Structure 1
Amino acid sequence: MRSMLFVPGDSPRKFEKAAQGAADTLILDLEDSIVPEKKDEARALTSAMLQAPRTAQQRYVRVNALDTGRTLGDLAAVMPAAPDGIVLPKSRGGDDVRTLALWLDAFEAAAALVGTTRIVVVATETAGSMFGLGSYQDCSPRLSGLMWGAEDLAASLGATENRNGGSLHSPYRLARDLCLMGAAAAGVTAIDAVYTDIDNLAGLEDEARAARRDGFGAKALIHPKQVDIVNAAFAPTAEERAWAEQVVAAFAANPDAGTLRLDGRMIDRPHLRAAEKVLGLSPRR
């Protein structure tokens, strides 16, 4: 999961275009991209899009936040169509995930669904949510990712802007970093926020490469032309793969070693875990 592309839940045309692209995951949106008077219509359209012939892409649905009173209705509309995952906006912490997971248990049983619907939360959209970023550990095995976002957070803080040019202001750098740490602590994917300057593809590439460098595993997107740039930014380079293969091979040849010497440098178990992540392998404990 490198690229997660938002698609308005009321636009089959945009869905068809996105489904032909290279995004790893499509997020059919019932929240911010849908005006209030079209939200009920969007539920039915989203359900139909979920039932379109499947490709390798994952299909998630962003429902409305728990405090809107619309979440259960959203789930009732889309769960029979078996989405791969649900994105929960404005999550306040692990208790919100537990609530959603309980509802998903019921909807999966009612629809006789095979498999487990995953959960991704947008974890930094309100001031209060910042204090819940340490509460996602062990909240549910369904949880697969924490996404951070700056747009709603700016509104929550009463800010006039969240960045100057390409640089985030300090409250949003803090939100980004804490979300990254919260995801790492919970053992799930950290997902970088959307890049809203659609035509600035060089800025997008810089931000995506910085996100991967720091430990993010994916990035949220708002336009199809952003997909290829982000996929390339999150793909390991040939040099990184070669290094990772050397590290994995070294520990495979010395399974009881805690530290080893490779090309004149010391490597230890954290290096092994990093190498396994580069190669897409399940980490060893």
Structure 2
Amino acid sequence: MPSSNERALEKAKSLPVDGLILDLEDAVAPDAKATARGNACAAAASGDYGHREVTIRVNGLGTEWHDDDLAAACAAGPDGIVVPKVGSADEVRSLVTAMERHGAPDTTRLWAMVETPGAVLGAAELAAAHERLAVLVLGTNDLVKELQARFVPGRAPILTALSHVVLAARAAGVAVLDGVYNDVKDLDGFEDECRQGRDLGFDGKTLIHPGQVEACNATFAPSEDEVEDARGLLAAWEEGAGSGVVTHEGRMVENLHVEVARRVLATHEAVRARS
């Protein structure tokens, strides 16, 4: 949400989303940066956004606004501070040091945007650089630009990068979010990309328009068939305890399948609780 737009910040209070990124970077014009900073920090400190995780995206390292953005965001104490174009593990540690210097509460985590070839190649070290890092966010627009690739349906030019960052996040035990979809009028293309992100292992997707929320939620939530299959698999597992071999719908069931089924049901229950 562009933090220079007070109407957008108000609307965000009612959106059925898990988290909000109150933006001070790309969505805000240079002459509106100071106003946006004040709006975002006031919103983050207000407690008016219910269950939603509230984060502030500051301007990147080396920009004229970064230091003031970071100091103000730390004072506001959001759930997370999103930093664009984080390029290395050293930058993660430097950002954490700065957050501590500015007095950020322990509950304020670092979200690092991965947007360059160097960051992708160093994603494993970046993701594991500090325990305060909670989320990797793919910046797919910048990544395509840096690769001198093209935006094409299916994202073939960046599939290797997407998978590499998911691997790094899973190895480090942090969350990972897919990048944005630019054409807000192309809901079919958006849904396809949501399904691709889900299939690749992303925890969710960053959105740029309220019209994308419903389709994203529907895609990343377990379907009715997935929920029923998970329940049946767990029932078969419990009934077959000690028998040596358990099958469900003709499929052999092992511990890993049980873990997946339990995750499906846990996600389903979390969605129901939010609804």
Give TM-score scaled by structure 2 length.
Answer: 0.86
Which residue does 2:11 correspond to in 1?
17
RMSD, matched Cα: 2.5
Which residue does 2:230 correspond to in 1?
244
Which residue does 1:163 correspond to in 2?
151
1:28 maps to 2:22: yes
Distance 2:262 2:128 in 1: 23
Distance 2:41 2:127 in 1: 31
Distance 1:56 1:127 in 2: 35
Post-superposition shift, 1:230?
A: 0.4
SS in 2 for 1:27: strand
Q: Would you say the 8 A contact 1:258–1:269 is kept in 2?
A: no
SS in 2 for 1:197: coil
1:218 maps to 2:194: no
Is the alpha carbon distance of 1:30 and 1:269 closer, same or farther for their aligned partners in structure 2, counting shifts above 3 Å?
Answer: same
Distance 2:92 2:262 in 1: 28
Which residue does 1:154 correspond to in 2?
144
Distance 2:245 2:11 in 1: 49
User: Which residue type is aligned with residue 119 of structure 1?
Assistant: L
Which residue does 1:119 correspond to in 2?
110
Is the alpha carbon distance of 1:185 and 1:38 closer, same or farther for their aligned partners in structure 2, counting shifts above 3 Å?
Answer: same
User: Which residue type is aligned with residue 86 of structure 2?
Assistant: S
Q: Would you say the 8 A contact 1:63–1:74 is kept in 2?
A: yes
Is the alpha carbon distance of 1:138 and 1:269 closer, same or farther for their aligned partners in structure 2, counting shifts above 3 Å?
Answer: farther
Which residue does 1:93 correspond to in 2?
88
User: Which residue type is aligned with residue 167 of structure 1?
Assistant: G
- Report % sequence identity: 36
Which residue does 1:84 correspond to in 2?
79
Q: Would you say the 8 A contact 1:147–1:179 is kept in 2?
A: no
Distance 1:88 1:252 in 2: 45
The unaligned stretches of length 5 or more in structure 1 are: 1-6
Post-superposition CA distance 1:207-263 (Å, at most 9, x none) = 112211221110000001111110111110122122223444555677889974333
Q: Which has a greater percent of helix?
A: 2
Post-superposition CA distance 1:53-75 (Å, at most 9, x none) = 23121111111222325433212
Q: How does 1:199-238 map to 2 (within 5 A)?
A: 199-238=185-224
The unaligned stretches of length 5 or more in structure 2 are: 268-275
Aligned length: 266
Distance 1:105 1:272 in 2: 41
Which residue does 1:4 correspond to in 2?
none
